[in-house]
Amino acid sequence: MSEARILVVEDEESYRDSLKYLLRREGFEVILAADGVQGVEAFTRDGADVVLLDLMLPRMSGTEVFREIREKSNVPIIMVTAKDDQVDKIIGLELGADDYVTKPYSARELVARIRAVLRRQTAASADFPDEPERLTVAGLTLDPERLTVTRGEDAQSLPPKEFSLLHLLAQNAGRVLPRQVIIDRVWGADYFGDTKTLDVHIKRLRGRIEEDPSQPVLIQTVRGVGYTFEA
């Protein structure tokens, strides 16, 4: 029986063929899509436990595919970017990708990253009880069941990683949390990605909850250490 279903959205035939062989050898069920439109159709039809998504695709870009899938599901998505292309990496992080790899990547690294996001997904699901309690702090109400943050009558839905990050900070209001502690708690101790991922998520959260994101009041940076939530 397959361990998990991996949707590979990749327009380069050589990569698709090698990924099909590699992932099936590792015990995964593999679904292939050669362009963005096929990728969305395959996910809608078959679902997936992890999506391996190339950023540069014909017919529909990787960013468009990402947004289409995110509207349907919080499935872990690993972005595949061009070699050493910092712009592509930043785009992937700002979208809220769970991880990214750059071409060419090693088979061992790719399989490790897939297994890591699967473990984090399982752990994140276990962290939430069937009837989670809401957290209210600094005028914000965080609802883990709906992944929403509410201020007054304004409720916003957050991507899972952003919600987990905000909940962690708010739950520890007044405490300085070191960067590595935050990464370990939100992304998992086996996270392989760039630590800039944390900064990108903090920036996005400030844009959502701060009156003036350029002069944050709630989420404070503690230079050289990490972040703190000021209640």
Q: 135-229 sits in which CATH class?
A: mainly alpha
Residue pair 161/98 in contact (Cβ under 8 Å)? The answer is yes
pLDDT at 93: 65
> Is residue 8 pLDDT above 70, yes or no?
yes
pLDDT band of 1, cuts 50, 70, 90: very low
pLDDT band of 129, cuts 50, 70, 90: very low
Q: 204-215 as b/e, with b when 16 or more CB fall inside 10 Å?
A: bbbeebeeeeee
Digit-coded pLDDT (tens) for 27-70: 999 999 999 999 999 999 988 999 999 988 999 999 899 988 98
CA pair distance 194, 23, nearest whole angstrom: 24
> Is residue 146 pLDDT above 80, yes or no?
yes
Q: Where in the chain is the domain with CATH 1.10.10.10?
A: 135-229
Beta bridge partners of 30: 6
Residue pair 166/149 in contact (Cβ under 8 Å)? The answer is yes
pLDDT at 187: 81
Closest among 105, 157, 158, 166 to 137, alpha carbons compared: 166
- pTM above threshold 0.85: no
Helix axes 62-72, 36-46, angle to 10 degrees: 20
pLDDT at 127: 47
What CA dihedral angle connects 214, 217, 223 and 226, to 10 degrees? -110
Of the candidate ranges 2-6, 42-46, 52-56, 222-226, the one whose mean pLDDT is the lowest: 2-6
> Is residue 206 pLDDT above 90, yes or no?
yes
Q: Where in the chain is the domain with CATH 3.40.50.2300?
A: 5-127
> Is residue 131 pLDDT above 50, yes or no?
no
Q: Which CATH number does the domain 5-127 belong to among 3.40.50.280, 2.60.120.200, 3.40.50.2300, 3.20.20.70? A: 3.40.50.2300
CA 79 vs CA 92, 160, 211: distances in Å: 6, 17, 31
Read off the pLDDT of each residue in 136-161 and give the average, rounded to a whole number: 89
Tokens (6 digits) for 47: 């679902």
* pLDDT, averaged across the chain: 84
pLDDT band of 83, cuts 50, 70, 90: low
Digit-coded pLDDT (tens) for 156-202: 999 888 998 999 999 888 888 888 888 888 887 666 666 788 899 99
